[in-house]
Structure 1
Amino acid sequence: MSSTPVVPFSEPPYLAGLPSPYYKPTHLKWQKACREFVSKHLLENALEWDTAENVPEHVFEEFAKAGMLIPSLPAPLPVEWLKRLGIHELLDAVKVEEFDYIHTMIYIDEMARSGLAGPSGSLTTGMSFGVPPILKYGNKQLQERFLPELLTGKKRTCIAITEPAAGSDVANITTTATKTPDGKHYIINGTKKWITNGIWAEYSSMAVRTGGPGPTGLSMLVVPLKGYPGVSMRRLKVGGQVSAGTTFIELDDVKVPVKNLIGQEGMGMRYIMTNFNHERLTIAIGATRQSRVALAAAMEYVLKREAFGKPLVEQPVVRHRLAKCGALLESQWAWVEQFVYQMTQLPKETADIELGGLTAMAKAQAGIVLNECAQCAILLFGGNGYTRSGQGELIESKLHFTDATPFHGVLHPNFLPTFGGNGLPADFRT
């Protein structure tokens, strides 16, 4: 039971003193260690760095040195590899062989406590999404060449799937990888867009077309990026998480060894879809914590803000708004906890199949809940929620994804499914 007052909605129930069937002593120990580290090395300056649109390089180095990029990988962790690299425990709180998906969830939740997606995304996206295809499907020689530097953070990677003309339509990716006459290399031509972390990455796990049209023509390759011949990259200004390094990549006759193939030719679509499960669940957890940050900030504000002779919280309409969002938030968190628990109880292959579609729904629902909580916070903060400084600064940062600001020149979120990624870049603001 917490010994200090907890602002309503500011913590998940298990941290607010309520019983839970999911968390064992190892999880609680990990949460305390994780919060201490993340608070010191990320959260204290997260808003400042996000405003500056860049997280300093030394922050990535601090996380890598402490092994605090590894928890973003899907659980169970690659224990054999980690022990080979001298990594036996994380923060002296949990052994790598004991780390399960509940530990993963706690880590993601703690990383998102800034209420911002950019700072944590700048650190973890490459490890979380780019490394797993190599771990799961790469052969021994591929793993030996790349995993030692990637798992220790000496080199960075990303996942490169999306293209300007093929966003969610993964099966119609057009970036080609054609073998040279001697069969020793692929020549890659095409473009990738909205690639998080790409600008800093030495490598990418990239979806390419090695065969005919449709999903059976797709494969995945480890493609060198930063400074590699034929590769040019530029950062994209986006409406959210700009500090995560969203990147546009052009590939012009990029020569990559055939031994960089991940798994088998023609299996890329399967690898991509399996990888999506972890990506989606990660986003669902992080977005749910962002909802919590927004709603807790609103709750704290209305408890102290007075209007019409009494605190705002005493206005029935205010309590109604908060209660509605609180119900959405706690329902979403309960769903996330349920998913994560199921991940700990099912074999990985079974979970990929049984939970795949539901995980996509959980991610989508997390976005809906975040939108509701952010709108509620902006409404209750009033003018302070529109000010890029002071007590409403964090809430203002969520303006881009609400319909509370028709005068802000930002696309209404209802347009985003139509525009896709093109609904996000700042260049598209009117």
Structure 2
Amino acid sequence: MSSTPVVPFSEPPYLAGLPSPYYKPTHLKWQKAIREFITKHLLENALQWDTEETVPEHVFDTFARAGMLIPSLPAPLPVKWLKSLGVHEILGAVKVEEFDYIHTLIYCDEMARTGLAGPSGSLTTGFSFAIPPILKFGNKQLQERFLPELLTGKKRTCIAITEPEAGSDVANITTTATKTPDGKYYIVNGTKKWITNGIWSEYSSMAVRTGGPGPTGLSMLVVPLKGYPGVNMRRLKVGGQVSAGTTFIELDDVKVPVENLIGTEGMGMRYIMTNFNHERLTIAIGATRQARVALAAATEYILKREAFGKSLVEQPVVRQRLARCGAMVESQWAWVEQFVYQMTQLPKEVADIELGGLTAMAKAQAGIVLNECAQCAQLLFGGNGYTKSGQGELVERIYREVPGIRIPGGSEDVMMDLGVRQLVKNFKNKTKALERPKGSSKL
């Protein structure tokens, strides 16, 4: 048990001194090492940088040089590629071949201790979601051309799927990629919107339409961005996550070599949907920590704030509100931990099927929990929680970030529906597999 008192709800149970079946010594060593690094290089200035709406470029460079962008990739890590680039361990705390999804869980949780999605998202979003399609589906020449600079952070990238008229409805993407008569280039035309990190990115893993309507007409390309002919980018002003570089991209006859095709034409929808599982799980982890930060701040506040002659914590109505949200955040964390453990035990192809729908639901539920906890914290802070400065500043900022969890990465209602549809589909497929073939006498 920990001998140091821990503010209620401020840490996951395993860091509050309670036993857990999930964390091995390597995980505890990792958590200690990265907490020190993240506190020094991100957390101490995160609120200020978010207020200024941009995290300085040197922060990305610091994380890249330390290998601290790599943990944002899906586990297991691309060990062969990393070792070929001279990366054998991260912060001296874990060897790349030993890194599992519980290490990922700890990393995402620690990066979100700022309480804000913008500062960490400005560093990791493009890295985390744009590199995996190249790793999983790109051929040898594509990987050799792009991965050395991307994995080491010498060049930046982003995932570019969403469009003004096609958000969660990925199958209706309209950005086109048409081959030139000589078959050497794709000419890309269209727009992408709400692209995190886009403004800083030399490249993007982009969803484009190479064929007819619907999902079978989609492909993925590595499309050059920053400074490339025909590409125009501008930052978008959004309500939360203001430092993450949300971008509007216009593509006007952008000439892309056919060698930049990721995988096979017409397989883009599969690549995109497979990639979403990692994205949604990491969002769920980060949002759960954001909820925890808000609730812990409120707990500290009600312990010292007095009203009507006694501290707020002595008011039953205050304790009731806090208890309800505390139960939600701890339940959500337990679900996330369970998910991540299952990811370490299941082969990737099995996890995609068995956990895909549930991951969508966990992401949606994380947004609901964050909304409740941020609202609770703001109400308990009172006027201080409605002020953009002072002791309630962080809580006010977190509450503004709630829609940035409930909408991006698949909007809440779509995610809940997808989850149930996937569970029903799995049930029907398993039931069908158990049916006795017609004409068979076998039991």
Tell me if TM exceeds 0.5: yes
Q: CA deviation at 1:401?
A: 5.6
Query: Residues 177 and 89 of structure 1: is their aligned pair in 2 closer, same or farther, counting only changes over 3 Å?
Result: same
Superposition pairs of residues 111-122 of structure 1, within 5 angstroms: 111-122=111-122
2:187 paired residue number: 187
1:235 paired residue number: 235
CA–CA distance in structure 1, aligned partners of residues 301 and 171 of structure 2: 47
Residue 265 of structure 2 is aligned to residue 265 of structure 1: yes
Q: CA deviation at 1:386?
A: 1.3
Q: Which secondary structure state, in structure 2, belongs to the residue aligned with residue 390 of structure 1?
A: coil
Q: CA deviation at 1:378?
A: 0.4
1:299 paired residue number: 299
The answer (yes or no) to whether the contact 2:288–2:332 under 8 Å persists in 1 is yes
Superposition pairs of residues 41-60 of structure 1, within 5 angstroms: 41-60=41-60
1:8 paired residue number: 8
Structure 1, unpaired ranges of 5+: 404-411, 421-430
The answer (yes or no) to whether the contact 2:295–2:326 under 8 Å persists in 1 is yes
1:60-80 superposed Cα distances (whole Å, 9 cap, x missing partner): 000000000000000000000
Q: CA deviation at 1:2?
A: 2.0
CA–CA distance in structure 2, aligned partners of residues 311 and 400 of structure 1: 27
Structure 2, unpaired ranges of 5+: 415-443
The answer (yes or no) to whether the contact 2:178–2:186 under 8 Å persists in 1 is yes
Paired letter, 1:89: E
Question: What percent of counterpart residues are identical?
Answer: 87
1:11-53 superposed Cα distances (whole Å, 9 cap, x missing partner): 0000000000000000000000010000000000000000000
1:174-225 superposed Cα distances (whole Å, 9 cap, x missing partner): 0000000000100000000000000000000000000000000000000000
Query: Residues 241 and 307 of structure 1: is their aligned pair in 2 closer, same or farther, counting only changes over 3 Å?
Result: same
Q: Which secondary structure state, in structure 2, belongs to the residue aligned with residue 158 of structure 1?
A: strand
Query: Residues 111 and 314 of structure 1: is their aligned pair in 2 closer, same or farther, counting only changes over 3 Å?
Result: same
Q: Which secondary structure state, in structure 2, belongs to the residue aligned with residue 243 of structure 1?
A: coil
Q: Which secondary structure state, in structure 1, belongs to the residue aligned with residue 373 of structure 2?
A: helix
CA–CA distance in structure 2, aligned partners of residues 373 and 189 of structure 1: 42
Q: CA deviation at 1:390?
A: 1.7
Q: CA deviation at 1:419?
A: 12
Query: Residues 402 and 206 of structure 1: is their aligned pair in 2 closer, same or farther, counting only changes over 3 Å?
Result: closer
Residue 76 of structure 2 is aligned to residue 76 of structure 1: yes
2:128 paired residue number: 128
2:359 paired residue number: 359
Query: Residues 373 and 83 of structure 1: is their aligned pair in 2 closer, same or farther, counting only changes over 3 Å?
Result: same
Paired letter, 2:277: N
Superposition pairs of residues 83-162 of structure 1, within 5 angstroms: 83-162=83-162
Q: Which secondary structure state, in structure 1, belongs to the residue aligned with residue 77 of structure 2?
A: coil
Q: CA deviation at 1:400?
A: 2.7
Q: CA deviation at 1:402?
A: 7.0
2:216 paired residue number: 216
The answer (yes or no) to whether the contact 1:209–1:219 under 8 Å persists in 2 is yes
Superposition pairs of residues 329-344 of structure 1, within 5 angstroms: 329-344=329-344
1:426 paired residue number: none
CA–CA distance in structure 1, aligned partners of residues 142 and 355 of structure 2: 29
Q: Which secondary structure state, in structure 2, belongs to the residue aligned with residue 222 of structure 1?
A: strand
The answer (yes or no) to whether the contact 1:186–1:257 under 8 Å persists in 2 is yes
Q: CA deviation at 1:354?
A: 0.9
The answer (yes or no) to whether the contact 1:192–1:249 under 8 Å persists in 2 is yes
Query: What is the aligned residue count?
Result: 410
CA–CA distance in structure 2, aligned partners of residues 418 and 352 of structure 1: 20
The answer (yes or no) to whether the contact 1:371–1:401 under 8 Å persists in 2 is no
Paired letter, 2:80: E
CA–CA distance in structure 2, aligned partners of residues 237 and 78 of structure 1: 35
Superposition pairs of residues 364-375 of structure 1, within 5 angstroms: 364-375=364-375
CA–CA distance in structure 2, aligned partners of residues 265 and 160 of structure 1: 17
1:401-423 superposed Cα distances (whole Å, 9 cap, x missing partner): 679xxxxxxxx99xx96999xxx
Q: Which secondary structure state, in structure 2, belongs to the residue aligned with residue 183 of structure 1?
A: coil
CA–CA distance in structure 1, aligned partners of residues 120 and 17 of structure 2: 27
1:392 paired residue number: 392
1:346 paired residue number: 346
2:422 paired residue number: none
CA–CA distance in structure 2, aligned partners of residues 371 and 255 of structure 1: 43
Q: Which secondary structure state, in structure 2, belongs to the residue aligned with residue 391 of structure 1?
A: coil
2:380 paired residue number: 380
Paired letter, 1:329: V
Q: Which secondary structure state, in structure 1, belongs to the residue aligned with residue 157 of structure 2?
A: coil
CA–CA distance in structure 1, aligned partners of residues 338 and 14 of structure 2: 14
Q: Which secondary structure state, in structure 2, belongs to the residue aligned with residue 398 of structure 1?
A: helix
Q: Which secondary structure state, in structure 1, belongs to the residue aligned with residue 113 of structure 2?
A: coil
Paired letter, 1:394: L
Paired letter, 1:293: V
2:440 paired residue number: none
Paired letter, 2:250: E
The answer (yes or no) to whether the contact 1:384–1:392 under 8 Å persists in 2 is yes
CA–CA distance in structure 1, aligned partners of residues 126 and 385 of structure 2: 32
The answer (yes or no) to whether the contact 1:157–1:197 under 8 Å persists in 2 is yes
Q: Which secondary structure state, in structure 2, belongs to the residue aligned with residue 397 of structure 1?
A: helix
2:20 paired residue number: 20
Q: CA deviation at 1:353?
A: 1.2
Paired letter, 1:8: P
Paired letter, 2:245: G
Paired letter, 1:194: W
Q: Which runs of 4+ in 1 moved over 3 A?
A: 416-420
Paired letter, 1:240: G
Q: Which secondary structure state, in structure 1, belongs to the residue aligned with residue 243 of structure 2?
A: helix
CA–CA distance in structure 2, aligned partners of residues 282 and 161 of structure 1: 18
Query: Residues 100 and 220 of structure 1: is their aligned pair in 2 closer, same or farther, counting only changes over 3 Å?
Result: same
Q: Which secondary structure state, in structure 2, belongs to the residue aligned with residue 245 of structure 1?
A: coil
Paired letter, 1:237: K
Residue 255 of structure 2 is aligned to residue 281 of structure 1: no
TM-score (norm 1): 0.94
